[in-house]
Chain A
Amino acid sequence: MNLENITLISFGYFEKELLEMIVNEVEQEFSIPVKTREGFLALSEYYDAARKQYNGNELLKVIESRFATETTKTLGLFNVDLYIPILTYIFGQAFLNGRSGIASIYRLSNERYGIEKDQNTFVNRIRKEVIHELGHTFGLIHCSNPTCVMRSSTYVEDIDQKSHRLCSKCRISLEENED
């Protein structure tokens, strides 16, 4: 497959510059041009009133069926709280070695945890989460290296601990997967 680009599609309200602030690093990690655009979905269809959250499995399926293409890796970005039936929440998920993934910025801001707003930390977390989910679409699994972006993160503090870069082992895997 000849990949043309990575497409980041935002759904719902996003600050205009937010995606532009992470494009460079995503391009650097995967050496593929990154495009951003807005997408439209009736999110209420994916809302679970009992949980007051949005179904991540269904959203991933809709990104795959309606937005993904053979020549792109497509990541849907949301600003709502995502869940999957078995877990209380998720930051994001993707098809391993597939075409698409999703991520949410909902739980990535300091304010969500009653801490003072820090835009820099917020953008860093989004950057890491986007690169992490895209990494899965390139066939990368979770890494045990504490600084690698592919390290599994279940809390924002975990995201803060790691860098936005792939470790050398994951980079080699990425290159092998691309071959």
Chain B
Amino acid sequence: MAKKISILVVDDEESVRDSLFNWFIEDGYRVECAENATKALLLLESESFDIILADIKMPGMDGLEMLKRIKSLRKDSIVIIMTAFATVDTAVQALKDGAFDYVTKPFDPDDLSHLIRNASKQISLIEENEILKEKVVSLENIEDLIGNSEAMQRVLQEIESVAQSNASVIITGESGTGKELVARAIHANSPRKFFPMVSVHCGALSESLLESELFGHEKGAFTGAVYNRKGRFEMADSGTIFLDEIATISPKMQIELLRVLETKSFVRVGGNKEITSDFRVICATNRDLKTMVEKGTFREDLFYRLNVVNINVPPLRERIEDIPLLVEYFIKKYCASMNRPPMTIEVAALKRLEEFPFPGNIRELENMIERAIVVGNGKKISLKDLPLGKTLVNTTVESLDDLEKNHINQILNKYNWNISVSAKALKVDRVTLYNKIRKYDLKPSK
């Protein structure tokens, strides 16, 4: 079903707001009204609208100023400026500031219909563009599955054989081995490839948030639910839903998930209408679900429902022979994204990488190469560019403040606490540097 277009009408005249409200409601649009720009901007902070119809002359902030603010919030917003006093100057200004169109009140019913139809087409094009971009990215990502090792070839064969079916898949493997890439590869090679693959990181969300994320919610379902929201299952209709870190979900969510997998239907949080969605489910975990089932922390029925096919992604230390290929691939990828000329790696550095245990797996290797390209001399990655003494993934997590404090301290020490030179090196002014020194209570080391 086509998405319901939402329209925000901003006009200080009540009769205009009422007229447009009734007109658009009859057309089946979702409509909200605001009597001034301040109220409209407040509304836009909590809710997004596809089309904003705004009067140019309003008390307080005028339509043109509001247009600029809206564009700074959301560049793609379709804003149509209305006015009773048309002048070429304001029309040109509105269009320069990014208005989609400019109309003079009162307008012909047919013009209004055309205007909204054109704006709707533009919205469809923007959305289509986004979807296509995502598809391109997901297709590119398949190339990330690199490796000639026996272990990796086995994974690729499993992907190929399972992709065409509708079977549920559990992808297991240590953190950083590329489980999501495997899921993307399955999706991209399946008949569902032209529909979305929707990813949910179950571990990052609390139970209530996950529930609302998966099933969606109706406006007013809970504090903060100021508008209706589609859930991930609904968004994955005809496509694939990827549930990462499935082992972290609560017993209550396990029951709900089982019910959805069995019926392919669900109800939004706070709603009562049953929604059906045709999706394929792929899960990933770095935990041993079988042991969790034995211990009673993961439902057995859900496990069997999910575990139709199991693909185990090997850790990097079990496929050392793939490291040169991976290194070459990441160098190429990051040199291209940073607009750098192609680089190579010193033999000694590559050898050390092959000996490194990589507890953070491919993600750790990728981060290392990216860092080496940033800090390196631009021609060849050498041993000194690689942080092999410490792992990037398993370092103690530092807050941004800690990072900033340590970095400023290092720079100050490097320049013997010469504030002007240090500020120049940090690319901040001296006042800012003094403020930071005060904030972090930094003192010269004795």
On A, residues with C-beta under 8 Å from B are: 57, 83-90, 93-96, 136, 141-142, 152, 154-155
Contacts and interface: CB of A to CB of B under 8 A. Distances in A.
Contacts of A57: 15, 18-19, 22
Contact of B20 (A86, A88, A154): A86
Nearest to A83: B106
B25 interface: yes
Given A141-B25, A152-B27, A88 B13 contact: no
Interface string B345-362: 000000000000000000
Interface string B1-38: 00000000000010110111011011110000000000
A154 B109 contact: yes
Interface string B303-328: 00000000000000000000000000
A83 to B, nearest CB: 7
Nearest to B2: A144
Interface of B: 13, 15-16, 18-20, 22-23, 25-28, 82, 105-110, 112-113
Contacts, number: 61
22 contacts: A57-B22, A84-B23, A85-B13, A85-B15, A85-B16, A86-B16, A86-B105, A86-B106, A86-B107, A86-B112, A87-B19, A87-B106, A87-B107, A87-B108, A89-B109, A93-B23, A95-B22, A96-B25, A96-B26, A136-B26, A142-B27, A154-B110
Given A57-B15, A84-B23, A87-B112, 20 more contacts: A57-B22, A83-B106, A85-B13, A85-B16, A85-B19, A86-B20, A86-B105, A86-B112, A87-B19, A87-B109, A89-B109, A93-B22, A93-B23, A93-B26, A95-B22, A96-B22, A96-B26, A136-B26, A152-B27, A154-B108
A131 to B, nearest CB: 14
A155 B110 contact: yes
Contact of B113 (A88, A95, A152): A152
A152 B113 CA distance: 9
A154 B107 CA distance: 12
A141 B26 contact: yes
Nearest to B110: A154
B19 to A, nearest CB: 4
Nearest to A136: B26
A86 B110 contact: no
B310 to A, nearest CB: 45
Contacts of B105: 85-86
Contacts of A155: 110
A85 B27 contact: no
Q: Which 3 A-B pairs have the closest CB atoms?
A: A141-B28, A84-B19, A154-B110
A98 to B, nearest CB: 10
Nearest to B29: A141
Residue from B26, B27, B106, B108 having most chain A Cβ neighbours under 10 A? B26
Main secondary structure of the interface of B (DSSP, over half): helix
Contacts of A96: 22, 25-26
B112 to A, nearest CB: 7
B217 to A, nearest CB: 23
Contacts of A136: 26
A57 B23 CA distance: 11
Contacts of A90: 109
Contacts of A86: 16, 19-20, 23, 82, 105-107, 112
Nearest to B9: A86
Contacts of A84: 15, 19, 22-23
A158 to B, nearest CB: 9
Contacts of B25: 96, 141
Nearest to B109: A154
Contacts of A152: 26-27, 113
A136 B106 CA distance: 24
A57 B15 CA distance: 8
A171 B22 CA distance: 22
Contacts of A142: 26-28
Contacts of B112: 86-87
Residue from A87, A94, A141, A152 having most chain B Cβ neighbours under 10 A? A87
A95 B19 CA distance: 11
Nearest to A93: B22
A154 B112 CA distance: 10
A155 B18 CA distance: 22
Residue from B15, B20, B82, B109 having most chain A Cβ neighbours under 10 A? B109
A83 B27 CA distance: 18
A88 B107 contact: yes
A83 B15 CA distance: 12
B109 A141 contact: no
B211 to A, nearest CB: 28
A96 B23 CA distance: 10
A85 B26 contact: no
A107 B389 CA distance: 84
A89 B23 CA distance: 12
